[in-house]
Amino acid sequence: MGDRDYFTEGMRAYHRGDYATAVRRLGFLTEGKDLQGRLARYYCAMGHRASAMGDIRAGRFCEAASRLRQTVALIGNRADLVEYLMFVYARTAQYERCADAAEVMSRLTPDDAMARVRLAQAQWRTGRKPLAIMTLTRGLRELGDKARLHLNLGLFYAAGEDYDKAFEHLTSAVKCDCTWSDAQHYLGLVASVRGDFALAAEAFQRACNLEPGNLVFSYQLCLAADAAARMHRPVTLSLPEFNRPSATSPVSTGRFQAMRQLAEYAAAEPDFVETFLALPPSEADEELFGVMSSVLKTALVYHDDYADLHYYAGVTSARLGRFDEARRYTARAVRINPRYVKALIHLAEIDTRRGATEQAIKSLRKAVRAGGDFPDVHARLGELMSLCGKTEPARKHYKRALELKPQYRRAADGIESLAA
């Protein structure tokens, strides 16, 4: 069985809910560095996650934690396809400010709690840990209760294994901002270290409710729930709904930013889109190409004069069965670049499907004049002209196809059909 077969069968199994088979089939491809391998890794991870949700419903928290650990190992902490693709393909710059710069920033913005946090973190990294704690303590005294100050102070105390003080400050961080999932998460971790697994599970549950796609939160929730049950303090979990990405559903601000970054990547790196469009047909086409359609439409908002993007949008729409939309995008690509061979050929295929044979012939002739003097194009012209009763022009194109590609069975059969 080849890679394409594993991918197709794995995706079919995933979409019919047979996650065990999906994981087995896609598991053969997860080491691949190409797009097919990366998508196989994503859906293999999603298969593990879906199975973990079933384990949670059945109270098998330990098994669920194991599956979620495998999910995180495969794709990291990214449960959304758009975010995962962005993570894989978008390049982001990262840097670390030095302690001196952080100190200057803190002096310039004395009322900014985040400036105090950056300064304390820089001091901690350079080994001045007591000074880092003093910086945050002074910040609390001068600025009042701030969630960021309490959280970072809690983390510093936890790093020093003073878990009681860490718990105190993380509890304060949650009180200051109960919607901050990171604060709930760290509170759960410290509660776990202190042996209060029921309380830890409550904190992880709140973190999951705030950020339902976070795989690490779900994994740690399972571990805490299992530990609490073993100590005869069972907890009831509320499972968040995990929605698949949809091209038509509203997107959050964070997901829009991911879509925007991925759109810029698609505009700058045509090989990315070409590789995507070359994926074999599978049960995931509606989901995968729905995402790509949204990405390309986002890119076209900012780059409407890019012929390539219109062509890719046309091919993607056709893959989704949206042929009227596909024709609009492809025709726009040809208007921008009248000698765009691939777009002209694709436009002809769409018109053929629509029954507009004369239009298809016209586009293919333009493609030949623009450099698309290919055997497949001539064979297609022969077929279309034969349908229109244009026998001699059809024979001419079949012969040209054979000149370019001797023993071309499609063209030879075409000539025979004209003689019949």
CATH of the domain at 177: 1.25.40.10
- Look at residue 116 in the predicted model and tell me its pLDDT: 79
Phi, psi of 168 (to 5 degrees): -60, -45
Structure tokens at 169: 């400050």
Query: How much is the pTM?
Result: 0.52
Task: Indicate whether 263 and 300 sit together in one domain.
Answer: yes
- Look at residue 111 in the predicted model and tell me its pLDDT: 65
- Closest CA relative to residue 187, chosen from 206, 199, 170, 207: 170
Task: Indicate whether 366 and 400 sit together in one domain.
Answer: no
Domain housing 50: 3-89
- Look at residue 242 in the predicted model and tell me its pLDDT: 43
- Look at residue 66 in the predicted model and tell me its pLDDT: 78
Per the domain annotation, does 98 fall within a domain?
no
Task: Indicate whether 346 and 383 sit together in one domain.
Answer: no
- Closest CA relative to residue 132, chosen from 114, 115, 156: 156
Per the domain annotation, does 247 fall within a domain?
no
When computed from its CA atoms, the radius of gyration of the chain, rounded to whole angstroms, is: 29
Task: Indicate whether 280 and 352 sit together in one domain.
Answer: yes
Total tally of structural domains belonging to the chain = 4
Boundary of a domain, candidates 57, 89, 121: 89
Read off the amino acid at residue 67. Answer: R
Low-confidence ranges of the chain (pLDDT < 50): 86-102, 104, 241-254
**Tens digit of pLDDT for each residue in 301-325?**
778 889 999 999 999 999 888 999 9
Instruction: For Cα atoms 180, 74, 264, give the angle at the middle one, nearest 5 degrees.
Output: 70
**Tens digit of pLDDT for each residue in 204-226?**
888 888 887 777 788 788 888 88
Kindly state the greatest CA–CA separation across the chain. Answer: 96
DSSP string, 246-280: -SSS---HHHHHHHHHHHHHHHH-HHHHHHHHTSP
DSSP string, 66-105: HHHHHHHHHH-S--SHHHHHHHHH---------HHHHHHH
**Tens digit of pLDDT for each residue in 73-95?**
787 765 655 555 544 443 333 33
- Look at residue 214 in the predicted model and tell me its pLDDT: 76
Task: Indicate whether 193 and 308 sit together in one domain.
Answer: no
Structure tokens at 102: 């952080």
- Look at residue 91 in the predicted model and tell me its pLDDT: 35
Question: Rounded distance, CA 384 to CA 390, Å?
Answer: 9
Contacts of 349 (CB under 8 A, 6+ apart): 318, 360
Task: Indicate whether 379 and 369 sit together in one domain.
Answer: no
Q: Where are the alpha helices (DSSP H) in 320-408?
A: 323-336, 341-353, 357-369, 375-387, 391-404
Structure tokens at 11: 């995706």
Per the domain annotation, does 325 fall within a domain?
yes
Task: Indicate whether 24 and 51 sit together in one domain.
Answer: yes
- Look at residue 85 in the predicted model and tell me its pLDDT: 52
Q: Are 57 and 43 in contact (CB under 8 A)?
A: no
